[in-house]
Structure 1
Amino acid sequence: MNAQKGFTLIELMIVIAIIGILAAIAIPAYTDYTARAKITEAVAALASAKTSVSEYYTSQGVMPADAAAAGINTSPAGSYVDSISYDKTSDTVAVVTAKVKGVNDTANTKTFQLTGTGADNGITWVCAPGATDPIDKKYLPANCR
């Protein structure tokens, strides 16, 4: 009696096909995940801008007139934020916009924004894709989508 030893060609081909299917699903999901992690770091980089605007609003009762008045560094040294801009839309509403760099070819040079709305109890911040050249929502952290 000759017992079969090893695998047949069809069994090996099935295993390779399964690995190929798993790779086809996993690689795009992983690249989106890494891009989202980088954008999350960029959102965190805007924490100082949020704090500056919030402190100004709390002490003055209105939003700062410009980035200099707010004390915002518009040329950050981070890995994923190219530039930061500030825009006062009213005495109680301001927008801090960040332009992304170093993430991936799809997200680079795109923007996301934090919109602050002032009230008696402080400022409420909302994160969203930028008004001009917006970043795809799939790259934003869960609290920004």
Structure 2
Amino acid sequence: MKKGFTMIELIFVIVILGILAAVAIPRLAATRDDAEISKAATNVATAVADITSYYTAQGKLPSDITKVTNVALDAQGQMKVKTTACIKFEAIKATADDADKGVKAGDPVLQVTAIAAGASDAACKGAQAAVKKITDSSPIRLGGSGVNFGDDTTTGTTQP
């Protein structure tokens, strides 16, 4: 008599493998989304630090925000999570509407906002939730406490 597996044994093995795959595949997808969310949160923190450092070093708002940071931003200053535009960065002057955030109109600020259209993607939605503290505290005042790189009114000299 030949030795081998019966048809019933093979079916049981296939069913068990199917159950394991049904459990493992959604977990794998969730792990990938978690990695994208973590990467996005790190990129937001890096971009905020880069833009703040640029203003501190140069004393002016960047004309092209994409050249100030190594974080991948499109021409509109939008950062993508996977393929969805998710978070927007703008280095602008504050408006009177920003007074409740502790900045005066005309102060240089970094505006970090969640893009509503991206909230349908799970990874984008997670990234927006991960950086909610930053977007809620936006606009972020640049330049610390009254840094002035222009004319020095106390001595009458002009700084380079």
- Provide TM-score, normalisation by structure 2: 0.45
- Provide TM-score, normalisation by structure 1: 0.48
